[in-house]
């Protein structure tokens, strides 16, 4: 059993890549391996063409923001930010200039003389950030840097970090377990589970085309329905045709079961009429539960032989007229463009 096993990941210059996974999945281990704080038993870590795996942390030129920020409490804000510059023998005039500049970048102008314990949580976060990029590292690593902040501040910082990344253009690897944060900020997301890469792709692709059930389940809300494969390699759900061919990447592979992933917000509700089956999948079912949640409402609809599909509905004035109660009979439709089919290991 390895904390990380067979991980092959390429980070492109200048991109914002997020390592996303449940706790204990190995994402922080991977980040620490890049920074040099833990050593893989074997493998290779290259910056460009340079092999770095035997290089000690202080020679890797990697900026790092820890979850706890790890600011030095016995130094001022400016001393903290100037620390990496001092180690690089930058002269004091230039150090002062670059510290001031970094402070301005993170919107802390004028706070250089403060002690760390005089700062708020959000300010500490910014100092940690400034300290990590002020020496223009080759890569910036962040380990759940926003997890200690409250929700409002966290959302604000997500946008700020995104802007900062655009402004600095530094290659960034970001660790989080918060999928919304990952979707908001990343150029690409690498989803890690049990020490293995589950999928690496852009946020849109991850959400719209998850490549396995773990990703489909982990990102966003979804209902996963089992499909059957007929003799002509067509996939059916309760005798309704879902896909007339196997997804190309897996067409030769018969060792798998197939599932249909339904995103609750992609389903629409047709309380009465029946639409054509050419452009839609149609389910008929009975409302089991209906809850109002403010910006949306969630319905749990029982279809076929006891499958529960979640359906998200808008709550604007028009939709409100279609408020349902448990026991109502409804028709659901899913556009063929929104059909997501994923393979699964065959259940014995």
Q: By the criterion CB under 8 A, which residues form the site for other proteins?
A: 6-11, 34-37, 39-47, 52-54, 56-64, 66, 68, 70-74, 83-84, 87-88, 131-132, 135, 139, 141, 171, 173
Choice between 127 and 311, CB closer to other proteins:
127
Q: Write the DSSP assignment of 18-34 as a string of letters.
A: EEE--TTSSHHHHHHHH
| Dihedral of the alpha carbons of 247, 241, 323, 307, in degrees to the nearest 10 | -80
Give all strands of the β-sheet with 267-270 in edge-to-edge order.
Answer: 267-270, 329-335, 280-292, 296-303, 307-314
**What are the residues facing 330 on neighbouring strands?**
285
Least distance (Å) between residue 145 CB and other proteins: 12
> How many whole angstroms separate alpha carbon 132 and alpha carbon 142?
9
Choice between 8 and 248, CB closer to other proteins:
8
Least distance (Å) between residue 122 CB and other proteins: 19
Helix (H, G, I), strand (E, B) or coil at 318: helix
Helix (H, G, I), strand (E, B) or coil at 204: helix
Angle at 153 between CA 152 and CA 154, to 5 degrees: 90
Least distance (Å) between residue 90 CB and other proteins: 11
Contact between 281 and 329 (Cβ < 8 Å): no
Choice between 58 and 180, CB closer to other proteins:
58
Least distance (Å) between residue 25 CB and other proteins: 16
Helix (H, G, I), strand (E, B) or coil at 114: coil
Tell me the CA distances in angstroms from 67 to 63, 133, 145, 184, one per residue in order. Answer: 13, 16, 5, 19
Choice between 10 and 253, CB closer to other proteins:
10
**What are the residues facing 50 on neighbouring strands?**
47
Choice between 5 and 277, CB closer to other proteins:
5
Choice between 185 and 197, CB closer to other proteins:
197
Choice between 131 and 154, CB closer to other proteins:
131
Least distance (Å) between residue 86 CB and other proteins: 9
Least distance (Å) between residue 303 CB and other proteins: 43
> How many whole angstroms separate alpha carbon 109 and alpha carbon 301?
54
Contact between 243 and 206 (Cβ < 8 Å): no
Tokens of 262: 């339904």
Least distance (Å) between residue 290 CB and other proteins: 38
Q: Which residue has the tokens 């035997």?
A: 54
Least distance (Å) between residue 20 CB and other proteins: 17
Choice between 40 and 304, CB closer to other proteins:
40
Helix (H, G, I), strand (E, B) or coil at 157: helix
């Amino acid at each position: 059993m390895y904390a990380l096993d067979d991980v092959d990941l390429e980070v492109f210059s200048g991109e914002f890549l997020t390592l996303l996974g449940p706790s204990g999945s190995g994402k922080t281990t991977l980040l620490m391996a890049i920074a040099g704080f833990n050593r893989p038993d074997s493998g290779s870590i290259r910056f460009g063409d340079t092999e770095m795996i035997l290089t000690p942390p202080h020679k890797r030129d990697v900026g790092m923001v820890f979850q706890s920020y790890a600011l030095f409490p016995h130094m001022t804000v400016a001393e903290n930010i100037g620390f990496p510059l001092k180690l690089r023998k930058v002269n004091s005039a230039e150090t002062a200039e670059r510290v001031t500049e970094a402070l301005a970048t993170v919107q802390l102008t004028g706070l250089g003389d403060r002690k760390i314990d005089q700062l708020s949580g959000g300010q500490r976060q910014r100092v940690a950030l400034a300290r990590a990029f002020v020496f223009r590292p080759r890569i910036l690593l962040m380990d759940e840097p926003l997890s200690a902040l409250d929700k409002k501040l966290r959302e604000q910082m997500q946008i700020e970090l995104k802007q900062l990344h655009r402004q600095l253009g530094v290659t960034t690897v970001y660790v989080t377990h918060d999928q919304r944060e990952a979707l908001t900020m990343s150029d690409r997301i690498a989803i890690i589970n049990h020490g293995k890469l589950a999928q690496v792709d852009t946020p849109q692709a991850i959400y719209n085309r998850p490549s396995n059930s773990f990703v489909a389940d982990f990102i966003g809300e979804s209902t996963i329905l089992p499909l059957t494969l007929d003799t002509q390699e067509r996939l059916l759900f309760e005798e309704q045709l879902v896909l007339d061919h196997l997804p190309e990447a897996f067409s030769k592979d018969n060792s798998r079961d197939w599932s249909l992933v339904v995103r609750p917000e992609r389903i629409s509700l047709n309380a009465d009429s029946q639409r054509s089956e050419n452009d839609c999948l149609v389910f008929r079912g009975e409302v089991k539960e209906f809850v109002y949640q403010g910006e949306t409402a969630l319905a749990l609809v029982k279809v076929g032989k006891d499958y529960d599909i979640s359906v998200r509905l808008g709550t604007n004035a028009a939709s409100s007229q279609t408020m349902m109660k448990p026991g109502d009979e409804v028709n659901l439709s899913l556009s063929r463009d929104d059909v997501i089919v994923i393979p699964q290991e065959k259940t014995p």
